[in-house]
Structure 1
Amino acid sequence: MSNIKIPTSFNIDLEFETADAMTRFLAWLIDFAIRGVYVLAAFMVISTFKINSDARMVLVILVAMLPVMLYFLVTEIVMGGSSPGKKILHIKAVSLTGNQPTASQHLIRWIFRMIESPLMAGLFFIPVILPIITMARTPYSQRLGDLVAGTIVINTKRKGSIEETIFRDMSASDYQPQFPQIMRLSDRDMNKVKDLLDKALKAGDEVLAAKVAFRVKEVLHIESELPNTSFLETVLNDYNYYTTRDN
């Protein structure tokens, strides 16, 4: 387990703790068990159908084998870099820029998962030595698919309450956003903005608020006459509005 610092467009180094090999293996075991239960259930259901062997084979492929093969691709896209096993153990795949992987990055990781796990027993992929070697030889415990896709798997479990995050519930208000450019920043960029704003408000430090506001405007090419603290509050609200609306 090691830390990686990633520079962002906001000139802030984001620090991630990479997931160790054992945690990733345990996550894989959970996913393996989920797929196993699903396949057993699928076979039990299919066995009750009074159909010929050709039709039964088609059902096996479509209902049992295909979902198992696509399991990681679909779950990691839908769950933003996590599979159920990863979610339970608080790890996820992110790009080397710190953002959620793109669809092409997910696809590359999935394709190389097939290459890295070529042996099959029934419908389950058996992990072989290649992922273990690459994870042991890379500084951020990346398997071959991560290296090619430009991703890493990180720990997401953090101490603290929701009040310490950028989350603000915008669903109950008829809010009108002002700065759509704010979506060019990531969650961690916005968390840093919030941290600095909180410090400025707590200390009554207008100079700090001005520096942060200036930097945000400079990076995003925003012009605004709002007071510095009001401007920063607005961009935080805008970010929450756009992210919750999109989701």
Structure 2
Amino acid sequence: MQTIRVRTTQNVFIDYPLASIGDRIVAYLIDRLILFLYILLVISLMVGMKAFENETLLITLGLIFIVFPMMFYGLLFEIFMNGQTPGKHAMKIQVIRLDGTPASVGGYLFRWLFSIVDFGIFGGVVAVVIIAVGGKGQRLGDIVAGTTVVKLAQQKEINSSDIFIVPESTYVPTFEQVVQLSTRDIEVIQRALDANRDHGTYQPIEIITEKIKSMLGIHSDLPPSEFLYTIVKDYNSLTAGR
């Protein structure tokens, strides 16, 4: 599977699997199908309301319930579904920034504006060619917005997000210095642990381990992954109830 290496704000490199062109095409077709079925439903309701007998009513309802949803479908879903549309959600793919963080509203807006070029006259051929040639999973709108589309990892029976569950009251933290870390630091650690678990990427957890040890003045012989899991559990335990 093709991947993209992104550099986080913590200067840590993490590999993300890129969404394949096939996944993106299927997601697009699912979204088109949903829109088609929605429009059929709206037209059926308009027929029942005899809207076609009143030109003013027809134009008003058509603009509000057909034209606007067709225009803003992708933009609004990506904004409110954190980089996904129903089609993308079904295919388990998501829009993110090139630094691995969620895209901004401005980024989604640029992607939407340039979709006219990507999916316009040639029906998506431009987008497919640019994605295939670019190597970063970016269509023109992504290049302008600084985004790409990645494949979300399959959830395993054990997920590193489980460590965010508040430990039992009897849990004794190992490294009390973790209170100096921020929530953002913990999110970066979790992302690196997920990358290690799902894709075998080992370098990020090694780099982060050394940075954490240096930052907090910790000396530990624990393996990197075990050390980072302990750090997050300790942080979660010590900051619970804040």
Query: What TM-score range do you get, normalising by the shorter chain?
Result: 0.7 to 0.9
1:70-85 matched pairs, under 5 angstroms: 70-85=72-87
- Residue-by-residue CA offset, 1:48-88 (whole Å, 9 max, x unaligned): 22341122111011011101211111111111111111111
Is the 8 Å Cα contact of residues 2 and 17 (structure 1) preserved in structure 2? Answer: yes
Q: In structure 1, what is the Cα distance between the partners aligned to 2:98 and 2:56?
A: 46
User: Residues 70 and 162 from structure 1, CA distance in 2 versus in 1: closer, same or farther, beyond 3 angstroms?
Assistant: farther
* Counterpart pick for 1:145 among 133, 141, 144: 141
Is the 8 Å Cα contact of residues 12 and 208 (structure 2) preserved in structure 1? Answer: no
Counterpart in the other structure of 1:221: none
Counterpart in the other structure of 1:128: 124
User: Residues 217 and 67 from structure 1, CA distance in 2 versus in 1: closer, same or farther, beyond 3 angstroms?
Assistant: farther
**Partner-residue secondary structure (3-state), 1:142:** coil
Is the 8 Å Cα contact of residues 182 and 238 (structure 1) preserved in structure 2? Answer: no
Counterpart in the other structure of 1:22: 22
Aligned partner letter, 2:144: V
Is the 8 Å Cα contact of residues 96 and 147 (structure 2) preserved in structure 1? Answer: yes
Alignment root-mean-square deviation, CA: 3.6
User: Residues 209 and 78 from structure 1, CA distance in 2 versus in 1: closer, same or farther, beyond 3 angstroms?
Assistant: closer
Q: In structure 2, what is the Cα distance between the partners aligned to 1:66 and 1:162?
A: 42
**Partner-residue secondary structure (3-state), 2:4:** strand
Aligned partner letter, 1:90: K
User: Residues 78 and 167 from structure 1, CA distance in 2 versus in 1: closer, same or farther, beyond 3 angstroms?
Assistant: farther
Q: In structure 2, what is the Cα distance between the partners aligned to 1:104 and 1:87?
A: 21
Q: In structure 2, what is the Cα distance between the partners aligned to 1:93 and 1:133?
A: 19
Is the 8 Å Cα contact of residues 99 and 186 (structure 1) preserved in structure 2? Answer: no
Q: Percent identity?
A: 23
1:33-72 matched pairs, under 5 angstroms: 33-51=33-51, 52-72=54-74
Gap regions ≥5 residues in structure 2: 170-177, 197-206, 218-227
Aligned partner letter, 2:34: I
User: Offset at 1:42?
Assistant: 0.7
* TM-score relative to the length of structure 2: 0.73
Is the 8 Å Cα contact of residues 15 and 195 (structure 2) preserved in structure 1? Answer: no
Q: In structure 1, what is the Cα distance between the partners aligned to 2:195 and 2:211?
A: 10
Aligned partner letter, 1:34: I
Aligned partner letter, 1:88: A
User: Offset at 1:8?
Assistant: 1.9
* TM-score relative to the length of structure 1: 0.71
